[in-house]
Amino acid sequence: MLRLFSMRLLQAILVMIAVTAIAFIMFRFVGDPVSAMVREGATQAEKDALRLALGLDKPLLVQFLDFVGKVLTGDFGTSFRYQQPVASLLMSRLPATLELVVVATVMALAIGIPLGVLCALKPNSFLSRLTQATTLVGVSMPTFVTGLLLILVFAVNLRWLPSSGRGDLVDLGLWQTGFLTVSGLKSLILPSITLALFQLTLIMRLVRSEMIDVLSSDYIRFAFARGLPRAYIYGRLALRNALMPVVTVTGLQIGQLVAFAIVTETVFQWPGMGLLFTNAVGYPDVPVLAAYLLFVGFLFVMINMIVDILYTLIDPRLRTR
């Protein structure tokens, strides 16, 4: 067991090194921050001095090793654009992204599961067909189109909800939350719907197919034969079993949501890590880009590692190797 764990850890470390290396090679092509950072009319000497101060004159490999060395001591450098240590910058943006992701996930589960059950129980009803068709449209539409449509309807035409921003925040010390103010909650609605849509569709379809599977199994038929109440059979016996894969997928999807909140955050000017990343690409703010990619890479590696280990614990057959 220990050997297995250390193998997984080693793999994770290798993946992280690869992610960092790829990120660094990419920055060669993202551009040169010097031209964005100097003033109009800067002399060649000014540009050279800045390049020197940023360490951009060194060979890429040296820059890479410098960066890795600093990261190992917990130092991600200073953002070129925001003039703050990158680590604290990422931490200050984390609450916004996590709140968005949590609300989107809850929304996707709260709507996706009942809809999936409905589509499984009454596959031929008008409502089921409509649900399936609409979610298919919803999921095939690009995120920014969904976002802009929602803004057009609910912010511009109806004026019910704000089109951008996070509203008023309450500072809880380490965490700034929008959950405690009316404008904060209102601001959450449109971006979380936008972000939830894909996940909602996924969950709905998964619940539907699992439900159909389970409902055709023997123990459900026996339960019917015994004359147990329908609500008990569907709710307790069928749905509980159908939900097992949903839990796994939802867990894996959280990593996706954090990483792909980028588009939603940009459309809604949601001040989370995704917006930080988009702005960093345009600048180009190399320390932020590198730290963000490391963070997302770390998130995925961790989630996958935990899932793998859990699987091995659950299923002894995977341990025999």
From candidates 165, 186, 209, 309, binder to other proteins by CB under 8 A: 165
User: By CB under 8 A, is residue 15 in contact with other proteins?
Assistant: no
CB atoms within 10 A of CB 279: 16
From candidates 4, 220, 228, 281, binder to other proteins by CB under 8 A: 281
From candidates 25, 136, 152, 185, binder to other proteins by CB under 8 A: 152
170's enclosing H/E stretch is: strand 170-171
Q: How many Cα atoms within 13 Å fall on the side-chain side of residue 269?
A: 7
Whether 32 contacts 286, CB under 8 Å: no
User: By CB under 8 A, is residue 83 in contact with other proteins?
Assistant: yes
**Which of residues 95 and 112 has its CB atom nearest to other proteins in the complex?**
95
Adjacent-strand bridge partners of 170: 177
Tokens of 15: 């993946």
Stretch that binds other proteins, among 7-15, 81-89, 201-209, 302-310 (CB under 8 A): 81-89
**Which of residues 15 and 71 has its CB atom nearest to other proteins in the complex?**
71
Terminal Cα-to-Cα distance of the chain (whole angstroms): 11
| Total residues in contact with other proteins, by rule CB under 8 A | 56
**Which of residues 31 and 251 has its CB atom nearest to other proteins in the complex?**
31
User: By CB under 8 A, is residue 82 in contact with other proteins?
Assistant: yes
User: By CB under 8 A, is residue 278 in contact with other proteins?
Assistant: yes
User: By CB under 8 A, is residue 31 in contact with other proteins?
Assistant: yes
User: By CB under 8 A, is residue 141 in contact with other proteins?
Assistant: no
Stretch that binds other proteins, among 3-11, 44-52, 130-138, 254-262 (CB under 8 A): 44-52
Q: How far apart are CA 151 and CA 190, in angstroms?
A: 7
CB of 279 to other proteins, least distance (A): 7
Q: How far apart are CA 174 and CA 90, in angstroms?
A: 12
Q: How far apart are CA 271 and CA 41, in angstroms?
A: 32
Q: How far apart are CA 161 and CA 159, in angstroms?
A: 6
Q: How far apart are CA 138 and CA 201, in angstroms?
A: 8
User: By CB under 8 A, is residue 209 in contact with other proteins?
Assistant: no
User: By CB under 8 A, is residue 97 in contact with other proteins?
Assistant: no
Q: How far apart are CA 23 and CA 280, in angstroms?
A: 13
Cβ burial of 200 (10 Å; 0-12, 13-18, 19+) is buried
Q: How far apart are CA 198 and CA 141, in angstroms?
A: 10
User: By CB under 8 A, is residue 189 in contact with other proteins?
Assistant: no
**Which of residues 81 and 208 has its CB atom nearest to other proteins in the complex?**
81
From candidates 64, 283, 292, 300, binder to other proteins by CB under 8 A: 283
From candidates 18, 21, 25, 43, binder to other proteins by CB under 8 A: 43
Enumerate residues 6+ apart whose C-beta is below 8 A from 89.
79, 82, 276, 288
User: By CB under 8 A, is residue 295 in contact with other proteins?
Assistant: no
Adjacent-strand bridge partners of 78: 85
User: By CB under 8 A, is residue 274 in contact with other proteins?
Assistant: no
**Which of residues 134 and 278 has its CB atom nearest to other proteins in the complex?**
278
Where does this chain bind other proteins (CB under 8 A)?
29-32, 34-47, 50, 53-54, 77-85, 148, 151-152, 155-156, 159, 162-166, 169, 180, 266-269, 271, 275-276, 278-279, 281-284
